[in-house]
Amino acid sequence: MAETSDFRPGEHAALFLLLLYAQKHGLVPDDDAVLARIGDMNMADWLLARSRLELFFEQGGGHWKPASLGWIRRTRDDES
């Protein structure tokens, strides 16, 4: 899993919001304006953050799909 220790303020929240969107809708459109809006960032901040946040997603076909999130599922299952 990609590191988040060098994230700037707001990038953790943007990642979380993108992952929530993907959980609900399946795929996230690969469109900077849409990604920035979903991540609650202005365009300038989004363009700075994109290279770090995209590491958590597989890209193709005009969409972002969350990379393997098995570790989240395992953690959730371990808690129940």
- Supply the range of the domain harboring residue 52: 9-59
What confidence tens digit (pLDDT) does each residue in 24-70 have? 998 999 999 999 999 999 999 999 999 999 999 999 999 999 987 66
Kindly state whether residue 15 falls inside one of the protein's structural domains: yes
Task: Tell me which residue of 10, 8, 22 sits closest to 56, measured CA to CA.
Answer: 22
Classify the C-alpha dihedral 41-44-49-50 as positive or negative.
Answer: positive
Kindly state whether residue 49 falls inside one of the protein's structural domains: yes
**Based on the structure, what is the number of domains in the chain?**
1
Kindly state whether residue 21 falls inside one of the protein's structural domains: yes
Kindly state whether residue 16 falls inside one of the protein's structural domains: yes
What confidence tens digit (pLDDT) does each residue in 16-33 have? 999 999 999 989 999 999
pTM of the model: 0.80
14-52 core/surface letters (b: 16 or more CB in 10 A; e: else)? bbebbbebbeeeeebeeeeeebbebbebeeebbeebbeb
Kindly state whether residue 41 falls inside one of the protein's structural domains: yes
